[in-house]
Chain A
Amino acid sequence: MAWTWFHRFGSPPHFYRIAGKLVPWFAVLAALACLGGLIGGLVLAPADHLQGEGYRIIYVHVPAAILSMMAYAVMALAAGTGLIWRMNVAYAVAASCAPIGTSFTLIALITGSLWGRPMWGTYWAWDPRLTSELLLLFLYLGYMGLRAAIEDTARADRASALLALVGVVNLPIIHYSVDWWNSLHQGHTLLKLGRPSMPPSMYVPLIAMIIGFMLYFGAVLLVRARGELLRRERTARWLLDVVGEA
């Protein structure tokens, strides 16, 4: 009985309708949270005593980095759900996660290197975190490459879902291997700049930005998943009703 909501959510027409209703909420709340976070972070928060005004890129960099990993987790969760319950909707969600996650990963890498230039004196350092993020980008590219190479959607769904799960098992191993790899060479004392914990006037906007990014991710994911469902179910009857309504 407790599962009825789950099965209902797995039915394309229901998902399509509910997602359509949720998108504006996510979008409006995301805009509000980001606006508040940006005003708080760029205007109200004081400058850092070490990094001056330059640290403010953190309000884009950290949320993007968090979301790049969260998107992979959501993707793997949806992919696993698809494999276990053979749910078309779950596959559509997983497929929609990848391009968004890739964009967040790219944003995190680009803002990180822009931040690194004035702070560390270089655009790129082979720091464990940077390297893990780069490898995450490659995992996303592999996932999308596999999807693109398989013409049959059902096979693409299942094969890429398996790859996403293999990636989830591997991500911690990759992360720790990269961590230990560089710690043997040199310790990056410079990278600990942000360590002295921030005052509330700095971290409250940051949290607002993270929440805003999550809501934005939710909104874009739902829009993409709806589009993906339309493409997949283009021969279904319910779709005619939806299009007839519009």
Chain B
Amino acid sequence: MSALLSPGGAAAQLIRRDLRLALRRPGEWLQPLGFFVIVTVLFPLALDPELSRLRDMAPGVIWVAALLSSLLALELLFREDGQDGSLEQLALSGLSLAWLLLAKTCVHWLLTGLPLVIVAPLLATALGAPVAALPGVLAALFLGSIALSLIGAIGAALTLGLRRGGTLLALIVLPLAVPVLVFGAQATALAIALEPLAGPLYLLGALAVLAATLAPLAAAGAVRISLE
């Protein structure tokens, strides 16, 4: 198989396969999005719904909700493929497992990260963010969600097939995700205050690039350990 398929071709096939499988079961992939929307909407109900006060809370609310929702989605990343043996086949294929996992994580982000980015302006508006702030909110969540998916992939690979995987996954991933949360919320706060937000955005971009470089290698190591 490895002789017939170039790394690029294999990744393209894997992406097509994962997308097709996921689109046949939209309910599964839409759940994290629903969770994100509901958690964000709960805050105005629990707090004083005055817009000026919500505006101060908006960055924290959006980012904590996005972080929790990405955590929920992580269980979908490797679970099925781990159970039915596809992951083992990927590991045995002779192609770079890190590269294939990067492709899988890309699909995962397309299905669970990108939807959050798309609805974020809507939710930010509901929380009182001015229209001029929306591009900044969008950009921050775009970069941050990429980093979150990649960091989460390590945790998902480490907890593959464990019985109490869910809470353990949160315990492992949340401390690692703190920098993304910090810079993301900071960029969003600056955007809502209509101030220049290039600084934290660059840092978010750096985190996303670093995660894209190292996380697949760590995830590949973790998958190999988990499959043994």
Q: Mark B124-156, 1 if CB is under 8 A from A, else 0.
A: 000000000000000000000000000000100
- Whether A162 contacts B186 by the Cβ 8 Å rule is no
- Chain B residues contacting A174 (CB-CB under 8 Å) are 175-176, 178-179
- Whether B226 contacts A155 by the Cβ 8 Å rule is yes
- Chain A residues contacting B174 (CB-CB under 8 Å) are 138
Stretch of A16-24, A70-78, A143-151, A200-208 on the interface side: A143-151
Q: Is A64 an interface residue (CB 8 A)?
A: no
Q: From residue 155 to 177 of chain A, which have CB atoms closer than 8 A to chain B?
A: 155, 158-159, 162-163, 165-167, 169-170, 173-174, 176-177
Query: Majority SS of interface residues in chain B?
Result: helix
- Chain B residues contacting A163 (CB-CB under 8 Å) are 158, 172
Q: Is B51 an interface residue (CB 8 A)?
A: no
- Whether B168 contacts A184 by the Cβ 8 Å rule is no
Interface size counted on chain A using CB atoms at 8 A: 28
- Whether A184 contacts B162 by the Cβ 8 Å rule is no
Interface size counted on chain B using CB atoms at 8 A: 28
- Whether A155 contacts B228 by the Cβ 8 Å rule is yes
A149 and B176 CA atoms in complex are apart in Å by: 19
Q: Is B222 an interface residue (CB 8 A)?
A: yes
Report the minimal beta-carbon distance from B193 to chain A, rounded to whole angstroms: 12
- Whether B158 contacts A138 by the Cβ 8 Å rule is no
A99 and B91 CA atoms in complex are apart in Å by: 34
| Interface residue from B163, B164, B226 paired with A159 (Cβ < 8 Å) | B226
Report the minimal beta-carbon distance from B191 to chain A, rounded to whole angstroms: 14
Q: Is B212 an interface residue (CB 8 A)?
A: no
| Interface residue from A145, A158, A165 paired with B172 (Cβ < 8 Å) | A145
Report the minimal beta-carbon distance from A200 to chain B, rounded to whole angstroms: 39
- Whether B228 contacts A146 by the Cβ 8 Å rule is no
Q: Mark B107-119, 1 if CB is under 8 A from A, else 0.
A: 0000000000000
Q: A149-B163, A149-B164, A163-B158 are in contact. Are A141 and B183 (CB under 8 A)?
A: no
- Whether A139 contacts B179 by the Cβ 8 Å rule is no
Q: Is A31 an interface residue (CB 8 A)?
A: no
Name the CB-closest residue of B to A170.
B176
- Chain B residues contacting A36 (CB-CB under 8 Å) are none
A184 and B186 CA atoms in complex are apart in Å by: 9
- Whether A138 contacts B225 by the Cβ 8 Å rule is no
Q: A145-B171, A149-B162, A159-B225 are in contact. Are A135 and B218 (CB under 8 A)?
A: no
- Chain B residues contacting A145 (CB-CB under 8 Å) are 168, 171-172
Name the CB-closest residue of A to B210.
A173
- Whether A138 contacts B168 by the Cβ 8 Å rule is no
- Chain B residues contacting A162 (CB-CB under 8 Å) are 158, 218, 221-222, 225
- Chain B residues contacting A138 (CB-CB under 8 Å) are 171, 174-175
- Beyond A142-B171, A162-B221, A169-B214, 5 additional contacts (C-beta under 8 Å) are A135-B175, A142-B172, A142-B175, A159-B222, A166-B176
Residues in B lying within 8 Å of A, measured CB to CB:
154, 158-159, 162-165, 168, 171-172, 174-176, 178-179, 182-183, 186, 203, 207, 210, 214, 218, 221-222, 225-226, 228
25 contacts between A and B (CB under 8 A): A138-B174, A138-B175, A142-B168, A142-B171, A145-B172, A146-B168, A146-B172, A149-B162, A162-B218, A163-B158, A163-B172, A166-B176, A166-B218, A170-B175, A170-B179, A173-B179, A173-B207, A174-B176, A174-B179, A176-B179, A177-B178, A177-B179, A177-B203, A178-B178, A178-B182
